[in-house]
Amino acid sequence: MPTFDSASAIVGGAATRHLLHVDRYSLRKELPNGQCVKFPFFTVGDCFWCIWYFPNGARSSCADYISIFIALDDRVAKPVKAQARFTLLDQAGKPVPGHSVCTDEREYSAVGDRDGCDAFIKKEFLEASEHLVADRFTISCDVSVSNTFRTENRATPPSDLQRHLGDLLVDKEGADVTFQVAGETFSAHRCVLAARSPVFKGELFDATREGTATGLFLRIDNMEAQVFKTLLHFIYTDSLPDMAGQEESMMAEHLLVAADRYDMQRLKLICEEKLSRDINENTAAKMLRLAVQRRCQMLREACIEFLKYPPALEAVMATDDGLFEHVAKSCPVLLKELWADWFEDDSIQDELVTCL
């Protein structure tokens, strides 16, 4: 799967730079003209967006080019104005002269609204250049969203509710519930937890619960202490602590399970987004199982997108012999959906028939 690096700055609206690392260039070239790869979504200006990458052009007139677009991937109450700049980068991360395009600022109001460039990079140029290395190259995507609800000279400061609630969690002042998780104890506030999770609301205000001198005492099973600590951090601040690399992926997997357990849909979607960015031959089978078990539509679609490519599928099969059997038993409709996208391959079809 492609990966994203990003940095953000807000100036009278929202602006974000994403480095899109496009791998398996030669494999993606097998897609016919007019078909695209939709790279996982990201957020700018409180809206979800995604990149549409056409390896053989978006239309017949630009079949010799790579086309690229930004598309709204969210439902919005009112149209939002956005603008995007796409730039081919060299191996040092510098812009390649003559290979930068900027869209006009326009309104996006419905899922799938898009704008971009049909003739972004000529394939012949890219393939002969030093910018394509190990079947991989990088595009910088600068996206800015106008924020019509803000003015440049605000008399009131931005909200600090998250900071105050975070301090409340750290200070434990007024805490009236204690959790024991994997040998560690955590203090929290019933009203905050109940407001954020309908499951916590049902558990914490159950009239049959027994209390202690300082409030309720509950034990949480089947969860690591660090995962529960991070869950509490999100409940109080609506954000996740800084994490890097493998730690972030592992925590996202555990947090997704916790979010599903406590019916916290926003956290669940955040975790799905993070996991969708990190699908590879070693994680695809596990992520697909997780997506089916936890009813994760976004993660499920990302896995399907990855497994559409025969080399990727063969690599996953080589490391996970039970993939077909699991999908066939747990979600046969999903197996048929995958099957419809795979290339003709007798050996794969024979194994599918055996599983079904």
Other Cβ atoms less than 10 A from the Cβ of 36: the count is 20
List the one residue out of 23, 1, 40, 332 whose CA is nearest residue 340.
332
Distance CA 302, CA 304 (A): 5
Distance, CA of 324 to CA of 252 (rounded, Å): 25
How far apart are the C-alpha atoms of 235 and 228, rounded to whole Å? 10
Distance from C-alpha of 17 to C-alpha of 140, rounded to nearest angstrom: 7
**Residue 234's pLDDT is what?**
93
In the CATH hierarchy, which fold is given to the domain comprising 161-261? Potassium Channel Kv1.1; Chain A (3.30.710)
Rounded Cα–Cα distance for residues 212 and 258 (Å):
26
For residue range 250-264, what is the model confidence (pLDDT) as tens digits?
999 999 999 999 999
Name every residue whose Cβ is closer than 8 Å to that of residue 155 and which is 6 or more positions away in sequence.
none
pLDDT of residue 326: 62
Per-residue pLDDT of the chain (356 residues; tens, 9 = 90+): 444 444 333 334 567 788 888 888 998 898 899 999 888 667 787 788 889 999 999 988 899 999 999 998 888 888 899 999 999 999 998 999 889 998 888 899 888 899 999 999 999 999 999 999 999 999 999 888 875 443 344 455 667 788 889 899 999 999 999 999 999 999 999 999 999 999 999 999 874 555 554 578 999 999 999 999 999 999 999 888 887 667 888 999 999 999 999 999 999 988 988 898 888 888 888 898 899 889 998 888 888 888 777 777 777 777 766 666 666 565 566 566 666 555 455 555 555 445 44
Provide the CA 219 distance to its chain's centre, in angstroms: 31
Sorted by where each begins, the domain ranges of the chain are 3-146, 161-261, 279-355
Q: Give the SS3 label for residue 5.
A: strand
Tell me the backbone φ, ψ of residue 80, rounded to 5 degrees.
-115, 145
Q: Measured between alpha carbons, how far is residue 236 from residues 230, 232, 254, 282 in Å? A: 10, 6, 18, 34
CA distance 265 to 248: 19
pLDDT at 128: 94
Give pLDDT, residue 339. Answer: 60
Domain 3-146, what architecture?
A: Sandwich (2.60)
CATH assignment, 279-355: 1.25.40
Token pair, residue 73, equals 């991937």
H or E element at residue 72? strand 65-72
Burial of 270 (0-12, 13-18, 19+ CB in 10 A): buried
Q: How far apart are CA 53 and CA 39, in angstroms?
A: 7
- The predicted structure's pLDDT at residue 223: 96
The model scores a pTM over 0.75:
no
- Name residues whose C-beta falls within 8 Å of residue 347's C-beta, 6 or more positions apart in sequence: none
- pLDDT given at position 41: 65
pLDDT value of position 155: 53
